[in-house]
């Protein structure tokens, strides 16, 4: 997605407004004293906010760029968000190829060159340029560790606090992983149909196969729709999963054609553990209905 034509003048004006502030900050960097001052952290998507808050606790203030209900494939930052970035301490980018970051990270860096940029996906294998890495609890553990290391770097006095928070949350993620495996065990058919293919890392983690309606960001043709309907019928599928951030009318058409229904699964929900537990339950329920 190309940046809008009026974005560069907006960036330049904001850089001008905060030029003096940036110079002052370069010579007199903000210090955290006994936890009284908070690290100002920016994240791209809501699940990252959950991760940063779990590790950073009361020592961190989190700002989310892509708000609830918006798509990171199309969202553009507001002027107010750009102003907030101008005095942030750290930006936790997902780093896996999210369209928002591909379009705007260079410009975000221009606004605040003092801000530490952290790649949350460092150490994670990206599969076929699929950016949805956070939807595997195993990958979430890597993301959380990367967040811990960055916060400890910025605020060494809080290192033990961040480490204890990280270890506690990782235990929650490990418990989630065991619970999801239990929910999804003993399934004969492990295929599920989704409109937007966000769930590949989840599927790989738990030996599932997602069948996408949308491929490479493109809606299916009329012939492609008929093929998907035939495939769903042959597999006795009764559920099509959709993401609330995307247009799901064609998924509804497929569901009607197979006398099934659509079910919403949110890849961007902030309540990460409860959300993935629900995802596992809904997928398991749909597969048992297919029998």
17 confidence band (pLDDT: 50, 70, 90): very low
Between 32-46, 121-135, 180-194, the lowest mean confidence (pLDDT) is in 32-46
Domains of the chain: 7-179 (3.40.50.1980), 186-290 (3.40.50.1980)
Cβ contacts of 52 within 8 Å, gap of 6 or more: 41, 43, 60, 62, 92, 147, 151
Indicate the burial class of 277 (C-beta count within 10 angstroms; 0-12, 13-18, 19 or more): middle
Q: What is the DSSP string of 170-228?
A: HHHHHHHHHHHHHHHTT-S--EEEESS---HHHHHHTT-EEEESSBTTB---HHHHHHH
Residue 87 has pLDDT above 70, yes or no: yes
- What residue ranges in the chain does DSSP mark as E strands? 39-43, 60-64, 90-93, 116-119, 191-194, 209-212, 239-242, 261-264
The predicted model scores a pTM of 0.85
18 has pLDDT over 70: no
> Using CB atoms within 10 A of its CB, is residue 225 exposed (0-12), middle (13-18) or buried (19+)?
middle
Report pLDDT digits (tens) over 137-171.
999 999 999 999 999 999 999 999 999 999 999 99
- What the block records as the tokens of 135 is 């939807």
**pLDDT (mean) for 126-131:** 96
Q: 191-228, pLDDT tens digit by residue?
A: 999 988 999 999 999 999 999 888 766 777 778 888 88
**Do 249 and 196 contact (CB within 8 A), yes or no?**
no
Percent of the chain with pLDDT over 90: 67
């Amino acid at each position: 997605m190309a940046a809008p034509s009026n974005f560069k003048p907006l960036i330049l004006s904001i850089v001008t407004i905060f030029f003096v502030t940036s110079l002052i900050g370069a010579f007199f960097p903000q210090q955290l004293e006994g936890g009284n001052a908070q690290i100002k952290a920016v994240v791209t998507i809501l699940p990252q906010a959950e991760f940063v808050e779990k590790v950073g606790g009361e020592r961190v203030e989190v700002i989310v760029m892509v708000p609830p209900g918006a798509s990171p494939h199309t969202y553009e930052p507001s002027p107010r968000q750009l102003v907030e970035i101008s005095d942030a301490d750290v930006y936790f980018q997902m780093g896996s190829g999210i369209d928002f970051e591909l379009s705007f990270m260079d410009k975000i860096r221009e606004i605040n060159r003092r801000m530490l940029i952290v790649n949350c996906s460092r150490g994670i294998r990206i599969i076929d340029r699929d950016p949805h890495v956070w939807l595997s609890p195993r990958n979430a553990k890597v993301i959380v560790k990367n967040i811990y290391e960055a916060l400890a770097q910025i605020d060494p006095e809080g290192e033990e606090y961040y480490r204890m928070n990280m270890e506690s949350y990782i235990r929650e993620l490990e418990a989630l992983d065991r619970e999801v495996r239990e929910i999804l065990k003993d399934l004969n058919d492990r295929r599920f149909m989704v409109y937007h293919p966000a769930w590949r890392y989840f599927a790989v983690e738990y030996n599932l196969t997602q069948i996408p309606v949308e491929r490479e960001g493109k809606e299916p043709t009329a012939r492609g729709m008929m093929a998907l309907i035939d495939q769903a019928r042959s597999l006795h599928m009764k559920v099509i999963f959709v993401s609330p951030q995307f247009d799901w009318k064609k998924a509804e058409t497929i569901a009607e054609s197979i006398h099934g229904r659509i079910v919403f699964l949110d890849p961007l929900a902030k309540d990460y553990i409860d959300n993935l537990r629900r995802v596992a339950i809904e997928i398991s329920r749909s597969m048992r209905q297919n029998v």
